[in-house]
Amino acid sequence: MSSKFLYELFNDYEKLFEIELGYDVIIYAGEEPNIKKIHAHSNILFIRLDD
C-alpha cells in the first residue's frame, strides 16, 4: 500500500469521528459535571478489539 493511500484512509476515519453521522455507539467518559459524549462506530471498535 502506498503512503498516500494510508494517509487518505486515516483522513477518512478522522472525518467519521468529526462529523458524528452514522454512529451507532455513544461512549460516556468522565465524571459529573465533566462528562464527554464520544460518538463511535461499532464496526471500527470491533476491528480494533485485537489491537
Q: What is the pLDDT of residues 1-32, one digit of tens each?
A: 689 999 998 898 888 878 888 899 999 999 99
* H-run or E-run covering 40: strand 34-40
Q: What pLDDT score does 51 carry? A: 61
Sign of the C-alpha dihedral computed for residues 13, 48, 41 and 43 taken in this order: positive
| Cα dihedral 13, 16, 22, 25 in deg (nearest 10) | 80
Higher pLDDT residue, 45 or 17?
45
